[in-house]
């Protein structure tokens, strides 16, 4: 997949097109196969240390999406996401949370790829509620995936491996959900 096809690259390119006077620089800190708990546990000096990679870089905007957080407990979600909100506000940045894409149906408790408008994962419900309660922007990618069947598109066709990795078309759903938060005036 080309950089412009990934979540951040496509989003940054579209933002530059929409707001040509803005100085937009994308820095991606994606750690494949990990979750927020692992990210926060990385020690100083690690390539993936949260404080050094995110907070110390003083970004204006942070996009946060951890599909693998779906496997954590609600107590850990609450702890980790509260920490992020507090940290982001302390450094004066903005935060956009993203609900994750759909993954293999049986991993989500689904028996088919139809009639799956609502994501059954408790993690997605947590993110929606948490964003609302903390006045955090939410790019609801999960909702986009849930509606694909109504257009005759099995959502697994947007997964490069049919399991859990979005392909370029799947990434476009992320990009659109993010861009919807930046309307043209």
185 occurs within a structural domain: no
pLDDT score, position 55: 94
Tell whether 168 is covered by a domain: yes
| Residue 88 within any structural domain of the chain | yes
- Cα distance between residue 124 and residue 94, in whole Å: 21
Residue 50: what pLDDT?
A: 92
Containing 139, the helix (H) or strand (E) segment is: strand 137-139
Does some domain include residue 40? yes
Q: Which residues of the chain have pLDDT under 50?
A: none
Give the span between the Cα atoms of 22 and 48, in whole angstroms: 28
SS3 8: helix
Residue 172: count other Cβ atoms within 10 Å of its Cβ. Answer: 16
């Amino acid at each position: 997949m080309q950089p412009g096809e990934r979540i951040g690259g496509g989003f940054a390119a579209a933002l530059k097109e929409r707001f040509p006077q803005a100085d937009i620089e994308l820095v991606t800190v994606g750690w494949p196969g990990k979750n927020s708990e692992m990210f926060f546990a990385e020690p100083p000096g690690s390539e993936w240390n949260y404080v050094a990679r995110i907070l110390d870089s003083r970004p204006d905007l942070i996009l946060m999406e951890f599909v693998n957080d779906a496997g954590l407990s609600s107590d850990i979600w609450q702890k980790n996401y509260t920490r992020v909100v507090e940290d982001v506000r302390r450094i004066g940045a903005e935060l956009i949370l993203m609900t994750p894409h759909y993954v293999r149906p049986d991993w989500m408790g689904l028996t088919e790829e139809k009639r799956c408008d609502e994501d059954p994962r408790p993690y997605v419900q947590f993110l929606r509620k948490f964003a609302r309660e903390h006045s955090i922007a939410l790019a609801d990618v999960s909702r986009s995936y849930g509606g694909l069947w109504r257009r005759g598109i099995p959502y697994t066709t947007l997964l490069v491996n049919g399991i859990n990795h979005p392909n370029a078309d799947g990434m476009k759903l992320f990009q659109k959900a993010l861009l919807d938060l930046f309307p043209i005036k």
